[in-house]
Amino acid sequence: MDTRWDPETVTDALNVLRDLADWRLTPERWERVEEILRAMEEAFAAGDAAGLRAATADLEVQGPVRLRGIGTKPASQPSAPVRDRQNRLVHALDGIAPRTDVTADDRPDGERASSTR
């Protein structure tokens, strides 16, 4: 993993970005989400871990709410530009995410895990 990024920052960002694909928001909220995604891209490109953490926290609070007021605009899926930004960020962050798979080379004893018994 790239040492500029702590695992928690990367994991938190990936979790909320992956959830975003299922969100249904009003157009105004999607505009705000797009601004936050732009800030996340800029922070990532600059190697700014604090900026990425802050933007991730901002994005988390933009998620859908269960109750909507009477007369509010209908919620919709993310637009193509939002999905594109989200996909770029997931791809970039996935490239530096901590590994969760373990191979024989990673094991201290060098033994392979066997799926056949």
% of the chain surpassing 70 pLDDT: 74
Interval 25-70: pLDDT, tens: 988 999 999 999 999 999 999 999 999 999 999 999 999 876 556 6
Give this prediction's pTM. 0.77
Q: Measure the CA–CA gap between 83 and 96, rounded to whole angstroms.
A: 20
Alpha-helix residue ranges (DSSP H) falling in the chain: 7-20, 27-46, 49-61, 80-94
Residue written as tokens 């060098």?
A: 110
DSSP code at position 105: G
